[in-house]
Structure 1
């Protein structure tokens, strides 16, 4: 595969050209106009930021990119998948609220927001790539169904992957909640019996009939049936179903690369990274 050409610009401005103008000039120079966007659903994959944190791409840049894409005939939307960890982006209701608070809304960003893997993180498409570690990555449905992928990435450090760049933004960020479980864990989910309240939600929604309640009304996993899909972890509101042992960083990065391959397969794509306000950890 031929290496991509990478175009750089600095953050210096002058009275004739502000930062938004520089970004537009950069993406045009890099060839964004070579993509046929006419009437194509175009996913702009970014990180909306946790409320209270300020290290994310300003919505002004997103709004300018949206304007460029619409002028090229695209049907753009902003998107991200829910997080595996608890927080303000772990379900679509809180995630949308977080995006709105941080300026990613039709007023500031001039674009609609779609949480790619749905209300609870369980809406996904399996894209077969027959990778070494991930045979069929579980990609958020809205990203999987998009015609074109645009990533806008806030470059930073990350505790496990080393750097959080375009690969992490796509490969981990666009993975559904079960997909994130596959990325982070080499093991199948486990039940924390102290947290499990016996609500039966995981039992009802297990597609593989791998969970049942024992005599103490605690969930129990049949590992002969469990596929490690992560559905139980995604649905449990009490941290009763949790990830198994964490995977190694080296293997995690390989998995992220395979997920990115699945996301971009057979689709036009374009990527913009912002190296500013760099945080040492995600």
Structure 2
């Protein structure tokens, strides 16, 4: 974990241009791994988690298994023993338990033949394998981290940088927070309770189909949410085309984001700070890879970035994305001009910057960075 910054954290950057094999994205991943000093995190025979998101079935914007292979190979070259890992989901889908999760991962190309590393679902068969890690946060004194993450000697976190309907954006911080938490930890992070605007509801029942807590009922062609049962995961909002799902964003979202950041800190503490981070600012979609689809990107591809500091890394990605001109024809509804917050242009009620400001406040990392091209 980065110490309190006295100078900007280094963030290494590779753009997307290639005119030769040595300039390919594959070659650039190896260069970024070396430049960022990830090999120094890995001792001989270190069990090294490669924290990924394998993508919900139907999603194709997740990080490529071919890219995961480059990281696995670099870990082996450093003397470590890599394994690819993610935690089961809170919602019912193709990654709700370890059996379905591994089937989905293999279907998406993450088998050993492609990646050269075994697959392990880090919170076990049904999400019950966890360890409690102490943090000194506003919301938590202890957080629940998936056992295989907490048991790893080191971790390389590979994140697709993209939008998110509650967090604003998802990058290294969100991958640490939600991605390293078992179901119980995900529930602790989520707390908003959703309602339904009956006038807007068209009775399609898509929210009913995805609710993991069975908190949604559809009567007289209108959905209703039982707030006593609702766990606040937000899946209903993701699939609602008529925007009938409502929440008090100003009250509920800031503490949700802070809880998420405290969980990210717990994940880093679980591996004793031995973590490196790669963000893939490619195919920058409006939604998380938990969706069973991939929408059109909201800005052109930016590149691949690496750092030992997750806050600086996400800050750099956030800045580079927002410095782009928004793409017409995407979900982006506002903030098309360079310098404007593209994620607010998609999800107007979110404030992704809370991830960065609160992350710096609690010692997860620094917002100050030096961008170093390779």
User: Shorter-chain TM-score: what band?
Assistant: 0.7 to 0.9
Q: In structure 1, how many angstroms separate the alpha carbons of the residues matched to 2:42 and 2:104?
A: 32
* Cα drift, residue 91 of structure 1: 0.6
**Counterpart mapping for 1:109-258 below 5 A:** 109-185=115-191, 239=214, 242-244=229-231, 248-258=252-262
The CA RMSD over aligned residues, in Å, is: 2.0
1:37 maps onto 2:40 in alignment: no
Q: In structure 1, how many angstroms separate the alpha carbons of the residues matched to 2:136 and 2:229?
A: 27
Call closer, same or farther: CA 1:244–1:269 in 2, change over 3 Å.
closer
Name segments (4+ residues, structure 1) moved above 3 Å.
Answer: 237-247
Q: Is the 8 A contact 2:42 2:154 kept in 1?
A: no
* Cα drift, residue 242 of structure 1: 4.2
1:143-179 CA-to-partner distances (Å, cap 9, x unmatched) read 1111111100001100100000100011111111000
5+ long unaligned stretches in structure 2:
194-211, 216-227, 234-250, 289-374
Q: In structure 1, how many angstroms separate the alpha carbons of the residues matched to 2:285 and 2:21?
A: 31
Q: Is the 8 A contact 2:130 2:147 kept in 1?
A: yes
Q: What TM-score do the two structures reach when normalised by structure 2? A: 0.60
1:23-61 CA-to-partner distances (Å, cap 9, x unmatched) read 111221121233243111111101000111101111111
Q: In structure 2, how many angstroms separate the alpha carbons of the residues matched to 1:134 and 1:178?
A: 13
Q: Is the 8 A contact 2:48 2:156 kept in 1?
A: yes
Q: In structure 2, how many angstroms separate the alpha carbons of the residues matched to 1:268 and 1:141?
A: 16
Specify the SS of the correspondent of 2:113: coil
Q: In structure 2, how many angstroms separate the alpha carbons of the residues matched to 1:102 and 1:16?
A: 25
Q: What TM-score do the two structures reach when normalised by structure 1? A: 0.78
Count of residues paired in the alignment: 234
1:241-282 CA-to-partner distances (Å, cap 9, x unmatched) read 943457822112111111111111123110000011111011
Q: In structure 2, how many angstroms separate the alpha carbons of the residues matched to 1:79 and 1:104?
A: 10
Kindly indicate whether structure 1 or structure 2 has the higher relative contact order, using CA contacts under 8 Å at least 6 residues apart: 2
Specify the SS of the correspondent of 1:20: helix
